[in-house]
Amino acid sequence: MTTQSPSVKKYLITGVLVWMPLAVTVWVLLWVLGLMDGMFSWLLTISQAVLPETMRAGIETLRGVPGLGVLVLLVLLWLTGLFVANIFGQWWLAQWDRLLHKIPIVKSIYSSVKQVSDTLFSSSGNAFREAVLVQYPRAGSWTIAFVTGSPSGEIAHHLSVPHVSVYVPTTPNPTSGFFLIMPRSEVVPLAMSVDEALKYIISMGVVAPPPPAPPRPVPARN
C-alpha cells in the first residue's frame, strides 16, 4: 500500500495540471459572457421603458436567446468604432467628452478612466511596452515591473535625476499592484516581452521565459 501512494499522488497532481488550465479558461469565459449578457439585459430593460407597449413583449423574448447579448454587444462595439473613425463621428465624440467633463463627480471618474484606457490601449502610448527588474519591497529583493512612462509636471520638478514610472503587479492576479517612481539607474531592462513577463508573474515563477539568444559572432574580415 505504501508503494502505491506516491503513484496515486503523482497521478492526481498530473490530472490537476491537465484540467486546471481548461477549468480556469472556461470560468473566465463564462464570467465574460455573464457580464456581457448582463449589460444586454440592462439595455433591454431601458428599451422596454421607452418603447411602446406593443413592442415590449417582443423585446422580452430576446432575454432567453443564449449568446445573443454577446453578439449584440460585439456588433455595437464594431459599429461604434466604425462611427468614430470618420470626421463626423470624431466631432460627436468630442461633444460627448465635453458634456461629460462638465458634470460634477462624473467628470473626475470619466476623465481618469479615459486617460488610463487611452494610455494602455493606444498604439502610440508607451504603457506596458517594457518589462524591467526592480528591487521591491526592499533592497536585495527583486521583482518584475512594467514601465508606464516618465514623471512629468510637479513630480518631475522635485526629482534631480531621471526617473521612470513603473507598475509592480501582484501574483497571481496582475490586475492589482503598486505604482512606483524609481530612478532610471535602479531599473534593469529585460529582454523578455511583456507577454512573457506576465506569464512569469501569473505562474509565480514556474513558467520562465527562455534565456535571450547569445549575440552572433562577427565574421572575421580577411
Question: Taking the complete model, does pTM exceed 0.95, yes or no?
Answer: no
Task: Locate the domains of the chain by residue range.
Answer: 5-64, 87-124, 131-202
Tens of pLDDT, residues 31-54: 877 777 777 777 777 776 766 766
Looking up cell 519591497 gives: 137
User: At residue 92, does pLDDT exceed 50?
Assistant: yes
Concatenate the DSSP letters of all residues of 44-57 into one string. Answer: HHHHHHHS-HHHHH
Tens digits of residue pLDDT in 144-183: 999 988 888 888 888 889 999 999 988 877 778 899 999 9
Reported confidence tier of residue 83, pLDDT bands at 50, 70, 90? confident
Q: Does residue 120 have a pLDDT over 70?
A: no
| DSSP calls for 84-121 | TTSHHHHHHHHHHHHHHTTSTTHHHHHHHHHHHHHHHH
